[in-house]
Copies of this chain bind each other. A is one copy, B any other.
Amino acid sequence: MTPPPDYERLGFKEILVRLEGAVAVAVLNRANKFNTFSTLLVEELVQVFDLFDKDDRVRVVILTAEPTAPVFCAGADITAGWDAMRGVDIASKGHQAHRDRGGRVTMAIYNCRKITIAAVNGHAAGVGMTGLQLPFDFRFVWEGAKLSFPFVRRGIAAEAVSSYLLPRLLSHSRATSLLLSGATVSPTSPLISSLYHQILPTREAVFPAAKAFADELAQNTSQVGVAYTKALLQHPGESLEENHLLDSRAFSVLVHEGDAKEGAMSFKERRPPQFRDTLSSTKTPWTPWWRPLDVSPKL
């Protein structure tokens, strides 16, 4: 078994990562570049969420920016055109070979089996609205943030899997309004407010609120119960009946593990639970029940 990673010594440059108890915190570290997406930032985010997923010590993850940064994330830097966002050589490989960078970050965050929280303490545009917010389980936001989805105003389409996630998160009426108008809205707008778990009055209040929420969840939730619930939400049955089969098995598997026993016992004894099961210690394999799709380019 490999030792758990020491996040502060892994050499990340464009994010700062620390572990506080069972809560991992990643901070965007490109304030002087408006926290825009760079090739390195994408690689570091993909890597660190993969590490969080596998690290049994981590129960909750928070992504945030410095509250003194000019923005949470200004999206892609397109002042020199789109070249920085291009990956493969289309002329020889074809459009099918391209893999959107925003989407790669989205997938890494969405597939992390821990509780994930975006603490949006500044303005956000483009992939700062999509890849850095939509795949999270919870979003905390500053009331004064300007939030924009400018894709159709830049000649491109909704990216970073936002056409899949936003309608599911908000329903199609709101998602269509936001993506087809290229709107800039405030978190309290009825078009977007239901995206957010909590809206805070100041930039400085966002991270502390998210951190207190994370700490409480880290102490009182089961890592395996969370991961199984996330898997059911992300991969439900195709019918009520099929979902009943899936969550029936979930109950049967989990109730034989230690966390369910501790959950019932602590509830009876009216004390906080001491959950000890981890994803790597859980004895019964239970995922995936869906068909995984390999999206690596066939070059």
**How far is A158 from B139 in the complex, measured between Cα atoms in Å?**
21
B151 close to A225 (CB less than 8 A): yes
- The reply to whether A98 and B249 form a contact with Cβ atoms under 8 Å apart is yes
Copies in the complex: 3
Q: Which residues of B are found within 8 Å of A220, using beta-carbon distances? A: 153, 182
Contact of A152 among B157, B229, B258 (CB under 8 A): B229
A262 to chain B, nearest CB (A): 6
Residues A78 and B161 in contact in the complex (CB < 8 Å), given A221-B182, A252-B95: no
Cβ 8 A contact of A163, one of B115, B137, B153, B233: B233
Q: Of residues 244 to 277 in A, which have CB atoms within 8 Å of B's CB atoms?
A: 244-265, 267-268, 273, 275, 277
Question: What is the bound-complex CA distance between A277 and B156, given in angstroms?
Answer: 11
Q: Which of A161, A191, A248, A252: most chain B CB closer than 10 A?
A: A248
Cα A180 to Cα B99 in complex, Å, equals: 30
Per a CB cutoff under 8 Å, which of B157, B248, B255, B292 touches A225?
A: B157
Instruction: Show the binding face of A for B, using Cβ within 8 Å.
Output: 78-79, 81-82, 85-86, 90, 95-96, 98-100, 103-104, 106-107, 110, 115, 137-139, 151-165, 167-177, 179-182, 190-191, 193-195, 197, 213, 217, 220-222, 224-226, 228-230, 232-234, 236-237, 239-265, 267-268, 273, 275, 277, 284, 290, 292-293, 295
Contact sample, A vs B, 17 pairs, CB 8 Å cutoff: A79-B264, A79-B267, A81-B265, A95-B252, A98-B251, A100-B251, A152-B222, A153-B222, A153-B273, A156-B260, A157-B232, A159-B250, A163-B229, A163-B247, A168-B171, A169-B172, A180-B229
Q: Can you add 17 more A-B contacts, CB < 8 Å, to A156-B263, A170-B171? A: A78-B268, A86-B252, A107-B240, A110-B240, A154-B264, A154-B273, A155-B259, A155-B261, A155-B273, A156-B225, A156-B255, A156-B259, A158-B229, A163-B247, A164-B237, A177-B197, A244-B295
